[in-house]
């Protein structure tokens, strides 16, 4: 009997499988957490999260989805409060947060918390996706030294990219203007 499943398939397992299948193609790094248990334990962590954080799937499982095991002294307490508030109120939230990889390397992440509801409209899971934005931030040591001088945490490359993006919207309408700079109605 090749290709058949043995035993009964529990509805909650197929629900999880569907979420994982859908998210694997869209998000390179994510966690699923149980919304019904205190501290919201991680019930699934994909390979992308393991590679990003340095923690194996086994090390991440059953820890809190707040990722408090990755906090450092420099993790913003306001960000931590926002994460906890989002989880407690079952509301989606997105924010930047500084965490530490397993090897203690600083990691800036864009963290998005999305509550997942069952057919009874009850939040039962959280999908937490992560996007590495470390390249858009200044190195962690430099940021501390320059914090008094500037509130901007973007590197020179990120500033250039932002400038190009802004200027592109100005340049696109100009692309239709002929070389002489005049538009003819003929």
Q: What is the domain-level CATH number for residue 27?
A: 3.30.450.20
**Strands 30-34 and 123-132, sheet pairing:** antiparallel
Q: What is the distance between the alpha carbons of residues 65 and 41, in angstroms, rounded to a whole number?
A: 6
Q: Please, are residues 18 and 11 in contact by the beta-carbon 8 Å criterion?
A: no
pLDDT at 176: 41
Full domain range(s) for residue 104: 14-137
154 falls within a domain: no
148 falls within a domain: no
As given in the structure block, the two tokens for residue 68 are 């408090």
By CB neighbour count within 10 A (0-12 exposed, 13-18 middle, 19+ buried), where does 65 fall?
buried
pLDDT at 164: 52
Q: For 120, which DSSP code?
A: T
121 falls within a domain: yes
Tens of pLDDT along the chain (186 residues) come to: 445 545 444 455 566 666 666 666 555 789 999 999 999 999 988 888 999 999 999 999 989 999 999 999 999 999 999 999 999 999 999 999 999 999 999 999 999 999 999 889 999 999 999 999 998 886 655 555 555 445 444 555 565 555 554 444 433 443 444 444 444 444
179 falls within a domain: no
Q: Please, are residues 138 and 159 in contact by the beta-carbon 8 Å criterion?
A: no
Instruction: Provide the 3-class DSSP secondary structure of residue 113.
Output: strand
What is the number of other CB atoms lying within 10 angstroms of the CB of residue 113? Answer: 23
Q: What is the distance between the alpha carbons of residues 153 and 59, in angstroms, rounded to a whole number?
A: 31
pLDDT at 137: 82
**Dihedral angle computed from the Cα positions of residues 96, 100, 39 and 60, in that order, rounded to the nearest 10 degrees:** 120
Q: What is the distance between the alpha carbons of residues 52 and 60, in angstroms, rounded to a whole number?
A: 12
Q: What is the distance between the alpha carbons of residues 156 and 68, in angstroms, rounded to a whole number?
A: 30
2 falls within a domain: no
40 falls within a domain: yes
pLDDT at 82: 96
pLDDT at 156: 57
Q: H-type helices in 72-136, by residue range?
A: 77-89
20 falls within a domain: yes
Q: How many domains does the chain have?
A: 1
Q: Please, are residues 129 and 108 in contact by the beta-carbon 8 Å criterion?
A: no
24 falls within a domain: yes
């Amino acid at each position: 009997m090749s290709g058949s499943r043995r035993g009964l398939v529990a509805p909650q397992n197929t629900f999880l499988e569907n979420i994982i299948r859908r998210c694997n193609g869209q998000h390179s790094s994510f966690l699923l957490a149980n919304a019904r248990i205190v501290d919201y334990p991680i019930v699934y962590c994909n390979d992308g999260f393991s590679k990003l954080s340095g923690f194996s799937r086994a090390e991440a499982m059953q820890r809190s989805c707040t990722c408090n095991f990755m906090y450092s002294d420099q993790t913003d307490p306001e960000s931590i409060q926002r994460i906890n508030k989002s989880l407690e109120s079952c509301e989606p939230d997105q924010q930047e947060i500084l965490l530490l990889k397993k090897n203690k390397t600083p990691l800036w992440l864009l963290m998005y918390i999305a509550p997942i509801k069952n057919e009874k409209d009850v939040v039962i899971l959280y999908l937490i996706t992560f996007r590495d934005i470390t390249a858009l931030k200044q190195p962690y040591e430099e940021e501390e030294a320059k914090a008094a001088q500037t509130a901007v945490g973007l590197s020179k490359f990120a500033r250039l990219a932002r400038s190009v993006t802004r200027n592109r919207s100005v340049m696109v309408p100009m692309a239709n203007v002929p070389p002489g700079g005049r538009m003819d109605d003929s």
